[in-house]
Amino acid sequence: MSDTPSMADLLGADAPSNWGRWGPADELGSLNYLDAGEALRGVQQVRTGEVFTLQIHMGRAESPGDPLWPGRESIKRQNVMDESTWDGDGAPQFPGGLHYADDTAQIFLQGSTQYDALGHVWYDGKLWNGYDARSTVGAMDKASVLPIAEKGVVGRGVLVDMARHRGKDWLDKGETFDHDDLEAAAKAQGVTIEPHDVLCVRTGFMKYWYELNDKEQFYDGFNEPGLTYSRELVDWFKDREIPNLVTDTIANEVTYEPGSGIALPLHCALMRNLGVALTEIAWLDDLADACAADGRWSFLYVAAPLKIVNGTGAPVNPVAIR
Ligand code: UVW
């Protein structure tokens, strides 16, 4: 028997929860906070019109390839038509001599910058809002990525650069921080994390992936840096009504909670229980450099994952406009 406590033991029977807050049929969770007024609050952050796309490259052939949660594979993309199609006989002929290229792809929906469906993780047989975990079998019937994709995510984004705040290119494996650290870093940056902000947190770990360029070393003792569980931190997210957490790590939080060794408890405490949308593997370095250059750390954040019916998540290329 493992000595590791269960997720339910760690989070507690009275874990902070938003279940039922937006009705029994809700599949959007804390994204409900992002109404038209929040979109306008986001627009008000725009000063210079600089645009930053936050997706990493998908299907990069050069080493080190794409950063992935262990066990997942990168996109397998292949041409089914290109100029060579017309080398032989039997190619389709179109009036005017049109040629074109087509391709197919097999992808892990969580295999790039992505939105998790709210039902992507669970414990004790229940998903977000109390949906039965059996509703995931075969296809995600409840709290899939589709409602998030149909709504779209638009609001005031704020970037907290934890790596820069700690004077590092990237945080170490297993290095943690909490809501007090976020507040301290934001204060040092001269920005306030406001209610309903899309909270973007840079650890530098994506930069580490590309600059290290050594998969073996990256995955050796795999334990990403990130936010770590405490009841106070979960209360902070609930009280601030944070709709969406975006990070430049594969899984948004320190992989193993240091006290208990439990894997990814914030996925459960924030996403399953509070309905906070999680966006992973974001490229935040160029945005961070621009923010640091002129000291403005808030922006318009716009994102919509692909409308994958029953999807457990979907790729996304969020856009930040300053
Ligand atoms: C897991 O839930 C395992 O990973 P992620 O949230 O990074 O997709």
Given this model, what pLDDT does residue 3 score? 80
Indicate if ligand 1 lies below 6 Å from the C-beta of 203: no
- Torsion-angle region of 130 (φ positive above 0: left; ψ -120 to 50: alpha; else: beta): left
The model carries a pTM of 0.97
Mutate which of 68, 72, 109, 110 for ligand 1 pocket (most atoms within 8 A of beta carbon): 110
Mean pLDDT of 256-282: 98
CA–centroid distance, residue 267 to ligand 1 (Å): 8
The confidence band for 6, taking pLDDT boundaries of 50, 70 and 90, is: very high
Mean pLDDT of 15-32: 98
The confidence band for 186, taking pLDDT boundaries of 50, 70 and 90, is: very high
Q: What's phi and psi for 265, nearest 5 deg?
A: -65, -25
Given this model, what pLDDT does residue 235 score? 98
CATH 3.50.30.50 maps onto the chain at: 19-67+109-321
161: tokens are 């650069």
Given this model, what pLDDT does residue 163 score? 98
Mutate which of 120, 209, 316 for ligand 1 pocket (most atoms within 8 A of beta carbon): 120
Percent share of the chain, pLDDT over 70: 99
CATH number of 19-67+109-321: 3.50.30.50
Q: Whose CA is nearest to atom 6 of ligand 1?
A: 251
Q: Whose CA is nearest to atom 2 of ligand 1?
A: 121
Instruction: Return the closest-CA partner of residue 299 out of 152, 158, 191.
Output: 158
Name every residue whose Cβ is closer than 8 Å to that of residue 42 and which is 6 or more positions away in sequence.
Answer: 154, 155, 156, 157, 299, 300, 301, 302
Instruction: Compute the distance between CA of residue 280 and CA of residue 245 in angstroms, rounded to an integer.
Output: 8
CA–centroid distance, residue 31 to ligand 1 (Å): 19
Q: Whose CA is nearest to atom 5 of ligand 1?
A: 251
63: tokens are 């080493």
Mutate which of 250, 255, 256, 270 for ligand 1 pocket (most atoms within 8 A of beta carbon): 250
Indicate if ligand 1 lies below 6 Å from the C-beta of 280: yes
Average pLDDT of the chain, as a whole number: 97
Indicate if ligand 1 lies below 6 Å from the C-beta of 253: no
Indicate if ligand 1 lies below 6 Å from the C-beta of 250: yes
Given this model, what pLDDT does residue 275 score? 98
Over the stretch 226-235, which tens digit does the pLDDT of each residue have?
A: 999 999 999 9
59: tokens are 């299907």
Q: What's the chain look like in SS3? A: CCCCCCHHHHHCCCCCCCCCCCCCCCCCHHHHHCCHHHHHHHHCCCCCCCEEECCCCCCCCCCCCCCCCCCCCCCEEEEEECHHHHCCCCCCCCCCCCCCCEEEEECCCCCCCEEECCCCCCECCECHHHCEHHHHCCCCCCCCCHHHHHHCEEEEEEEEEHHHHCCCCCCCCCCEECHHHHHHHHHHHCCCCCCCCEEEEECCHHHHHHHHCCHHHHHCCCCCCEECCCHHHHHHHHHHCCCEEEECCCCCCCCECCCCCCECHHHHHHHHHHCCEEEECCCCHHHHHHHHHHCCCEEEEEECCCCCCCCCEEECCCEEEC
Amino acid found at 235: D
Over the stretch 101-146, which tens digit does the pLDDT of each residue have?
A: 999 999 999 999 999 999 999 999 999 999 999 999 999 999 999 9
Mutate which of 107, 145, 280 for ligand 1 pocket (most atoms within 8 A of beta carbon): 280
Over the stretch 50-97, which tens digit does the pLDDT of each residue have?
A: 999 999 999 999 999 999 999 999 999 999 999 999 999 999 999 999
Mean pLDDT of 285-293: 98
Over the stretch 141-157, which tens digit does the pLDDT of each residue have?
A: 999 999 999 999 999 99
Indicate if ligand 1 lies below 6 Å from the C-beta of 263: no
Does the pLDDT of residue 1 top 90, yes or no?
no
